[in-house]
Amino acid sequence: MQTKIYLDEENLPKTWYNIQADLPSPLDPPLHPATGKPVGSADLAPIFPMELIGQEMSTKRDIQIPEDVREILKIWRPSPLIRAHRLEKYLKTPAKIYYKWEGVSPAGSHKPNTAVPQAYYNMKDGTERIATETGAGQWGSALAFATSLFGLECTVYMVRSSYVHKPYRKSMMQVWGAECIPSPSPRTASGRAMLEKDPDTTGSLGMAISEAVEDAATHANTHYSLGSVLNHVCLHQTIMGLEAREQLAMVDDYPDVVIGSVGGGSNFAGISFPFAGDILTGKAKGTEIIGVEPAACPTMTRGLYEYDYGDVAGLTPMLKMYTLGHEFVPPALHAGGLRYHGDSPIVSRLVHDGIITPKSYLQNEVFEAAEIFARTEGIIIAPEAAHAAKGAMDAALECRKTGEAKTILFCNSGHGHFDMSAYDAFHAGEIIDYECPDDLIKESLSHLPKMRG
Ligand SMILES: *Cc1c(COP(=O)(O)O)cnc(C)c1O
């Protein structure tokens, strides 16, 4: 009975998969926040290195992973693909459940998969410092790790509610040499404006993005970096799906269902795009691809597919994506990494085209699933990852009803060792099942940017 499927280090993928090559028509371009015109390389040059700008817009299918990046990824990659035998047994399902285990990275999630190449391209470009935002602290700690390996400075604007409730993520950033600032902060003009409006604000990812972008745009030696949403981030994460497809082939298998949690969409993109590409190019059909989000921040399931800003202040380009409106402030969810008002433009496009099926869950059912996972498979997973685990369990229970022996693959995006207070709250019965009211969504969507023409 094989449990772990390992790829050899020499079989670590040499290229990332760019799904833009296989979309039936090009993505709607990002638009400049002031002019409403498509954004060009020159607009992005003050905040991103050229290589990443190129990847953002590229329609080349296979993009080389630099050897220096592969060498660092080898610290933990290829990551294991694990067959959840005990969970299958518990669920009494004929389905096979596999999960791609990303908790083995130094920061404990999938996020270093893009932090390392982003830090590398910035180092090559002569960047001295990178500014970024972080929600739950996962991205900040991943970038702090990556920048430390390339000798770059790192400034992280951390959503205030997480800064207060997740002190150990901040400690990790400090160990890796980064500066971590609670956002909104007096450090930036946009932060000061937000504090003036509401001095007690718990912050949001959108606010923190405004601060980090402003920091990068106003300092010549500083670039900005984003841990999700953008095309190049999704590109770097495809290493997970490419490995998983190889690993499943080693046991003569291919998934019928692929599942990931969706915050900005990067881990889901990473696990699913190689399989979505197989659908788009006619190599596979019938693969169900499911993106899971929290009911409290229901971007894909209840938002609109429209142009919107990536941040609260409206400093970022407008992206065509599923959005709840850039002014949407989600409740202080325990899956902090899933609190973003928008989603990856590519994931959004594939949802719109019917290739991806979105789904949402309430918090308590997600924690119940996380606990079942811990008590069968042993691993205490991040609340974000638990959304995907819950999706996989539901797919497996469906198989119990129909008698189908489907192959289910999900992205187990990280461990939950710094989320124990959330597990404590679950045990104390303090987790609230919050479903976002229609009025709130409607009000927030009424502030979408007005499109010209
Ligand atoms: C950040 C994070 C997520 C959500 O972000 P995506 O960009 O949607 O992947 C999910 N799981 C974990 C463990 C995370 O740290």
Torsion region of 325: left, alpha or beta (phi above 0 gives left; psi -120 to 50 gives alpha) = left
Instruction: Answer whether residue 357 shows pLDDT above 50.
Output: yes
Measured from the CA of 413, which atom of ligand 1 is nearest?
13
Residue closest to 47 by CA, chosen among 219, 223, 310, 226: 223
Q: Measured from the CB, is residue 265 less than 6 Å from ligand 1?
A: yes
Which helix (H) or strand (E) element contains residue 125? none
Distance from Cα 232 to the centre of ligand 1, integer Å: 16
pLDDT at 135: 87
Region of poorest pLDDT, from 109-118, 158-167, 382-391: 158-167
Cα(first)–Cα(last) distance of the chain, in Å?
61
Q: Which three-class secondary structure string do you get for 196-218?
A: HHCCCCCCCHHHHHHHHHHHHHC
Query: For residue 46, what are the CA distances in angstroms to 42, 130, 140, 232, 317?
Result: 8, 12, 21, 17, 13
Strands 288-294 and 4-5: unpaired
| SS3 call for 70 | helix
Residues 404-435 have pLDDT tens digits of 999 999 999 999 999 999 999 999 999 999 98
Which helix (H) or strand (E) element contains residue 363? helix 363-377
Distance from Cα 239 to the centre of ligand 1, integer Å: 15
| SS3 call for 394 | helix
Rounded to 5°, the CA angle 201-297-449 comes to 75
pLDDT at 453: 46
Distance from Cα 403 to the centre of ligand 1, integer Å: 32
Query: Which of 99, 102, 110, 240 best tests ligand 1's pocket when mutated (most atoms within 8 Å of CB)?
Result: 110
Question: pTM above the 0.85 mark?
Answer: yes
Region of poorest pLDDT, from 30-34, 203-207, 247-251: 203-207
Architecture of domain 68-108+237-445: 3-Layer(aba) Sandwich (3.40)
Which helix (H) or strand (E) element contains residue 435? none
- On average, the pLDDT of the chain sits at 95
Q: Where in the chain are the domains?
A: 68-108+237-445
Query: Which of 237, 267, 381, 417 best tests ligand 1's pocket when mutated (most atoms within 8 Å of CB)?
Result: 267
Q: Measured from the CB, is residue 260 less than 6 Å from ligand 1?
A: no
Distance from Cα 440 to the centre of ligand 1, integer Å: 25
Q: Measured from the CB, is residue 228 less than 6 Å from ligand 1?
A: yes
pLDDT at 452: 54
